[in-house]
Amino acid sequence: MALSSQFINLLASILLLLAFAMLSQRRIRSLIRLFMVQGMTLAVSTVVIASTTNQSHLYYSALLTFSLKVVILPWILFRMIRQLNVEWDVETLINIPSTMLVGIAIVIVSFNLALPISHLAGTITRSTIGIAMACVLLSLLMMITRSKAISQVIGFLSMENGLFFAATSTTYGMPMVVELGVALDVLVGVLILGVFFFQIREKFESLDLKHLEKAEEE
């Protein structure tokens, strides 16, 4: 049990490092690869929790996570950026060093906020609640500081990973019906956003969201 708990903490630390790596990354293709690694790490952590706690439904959750976030969604995103000819996201609202400093502050706040919840939780993964909350907020920060639509969608998907890890950490996952519904919503949402991206590109010849703000003003 102690060894499994330490391994889960290691995987949680990897998720946090991946969130920081996504914050500092400028290439959209690299962002998608980091999202794939994040999905793989999340699937492995779910399998470890399932084997440690004998929660058999978590094996299905891990399989669903791997299929959706390591195979299907990255394939859709890679195909999308090839067709849109988008490789770089060089424009950010604040520079990368400042973003990383804000991210460190968010991690500190997250751990302080999660401390009372960790004391109340009875799961073996209660020590990772702070990391799960930090991953969610760091993904939100990436969405706020990016100007390209695709990178914001990747930030949204990464935030959903953090929420899933938080659910696994606090309650050993959600019911399978709920997880299937969320997975379907995420998949359909990405497909709809893909159509939306092509419409933006066709009208403005760019995926920069500032063009939408100008269009609203006009």
What's the pLDDT tens digit per position in 25-49? Answer: 878 888 889 999 999 998 898 888 8
Q: How far apart are CA 18 and CA 192, in angstroms?
A: 27
pLDDT band at 217, cuts 50/70/90?
Answer: very low
φ/ψ (deg, to 5) at 172: 60, 40
Q: Which 8-state DSSP code applies to residue 148?
A: B
Residue 92 has pLDDT above 70, yes or no: no
| pLDDT of the residue at 153 | 82
Three-state DSSP state, 87: coil
Domain ranges for the chain, please list them: 2-217
Residue predicted with more confidence, 175 or 152:
152
Q: What is the mean pLDDT of the chain?
A: 77
Residue 165 has pLDDT above 70, yes or no: yes
Residue 73 has pLDDT above 80, yes or no: yes
